[in-house]
Amino acid sequence: MDEREQVREVYAASASRLVSQLYALTGDFGEAQDAVHEAFARALARPGRLRRLDNPEAWLRTVAINVARSRHRRRAVLDRLVSSRLAAHPEPVAPGLSPDHVALVAALQRLPRVVRETVVLHHLADLPVAEVARQLNCSVDAVKTRLVRGRRALLDLLGDTGGGDTAVGDTAGDKEMDHA
């Protein structure tokens, strides 16, 4: 199988999942798509790169997160330079997403970046705590602390939905018991 065919297969298997994870990190569906597509473009630019990797999706996720971080930093610099926040920023449009997904992404955007990244990688990307620690270059204890803080903050931000089934933990069920 040639490199382009391998990238096509990885794209078919991973792209939508990566876009969903990056959307949760960035809060901007278009930016998430762009970052993931840039990661795949970089994979195509380095023939054979994916073939040598044990987990191509993890490499693509790391590249996409780094692309999103770089763009965010550049945008922050531009915002400071322009510094006229008089114009209202339009709400991002994310086609085909449920209201719950949009609410979760909005709540994630209110978390500190490191907590948001930790929650997304663990709960949305389904990475084990040790792998999240490795990808974020921090200790396992730091990941666990960030996850606890993130879950608590999301519970406060999202409130009790009454369903008892949340994407970030079972703490909503505990809150339901308090109301009984």
Q: DSSP readout, 153-172?
A: HHHHHH---SS---SS-SHH
pLDDT score at 163: 47
- pLDDT of 85 above 70: no
Q: Do 48 and 2 meet the contact criterion of CB atoms below 8 Å apart?
A: no
CB atoms within 10 A of CB 169: 17
Residue with more model confidence, 85 or 116: 116
User: Distance from first CA to last CA of the chain, Å, rounded?
Assistant: 59
Alpha carbon distance 65, 45 (integer Å): 18
The full length of the chain comes to 180
Tokens of 113: 């970046």
pLDDT score at 80: 62
* Token pair 């369903």: residue: 163
**Using 50, 70 and 90 to split pLDDT, how confident is the model at 44?**
confident
Q: Do 94 and 29 meet the contact criterion of CB atoms below 8 Å apart?
A: yes
Residue with more model confidence, 47 or 169: 47
Tokens of 154: 């999301």
CATH among 1.20.210.10, 1.10.10.60, 1.10.10.10, 3.40.50.300 for 97-180: 1.10.10.10
Q: Do 50 and 93 meet the contact criterion of CB atoms below 8 Å apart?
A: no
Is this model's pTM higher than 0.75 or not?
A: no
pLDDT score at 168: 43
Helices (H), 50-121: 56-82, 99-109, 113-119
pLDDT in tens, 63-82: 999 999 888 877 776 666 55
Alpha-carbon separation of residue 168 from 57, 65, 178 (angstroms): 22, 20, 19
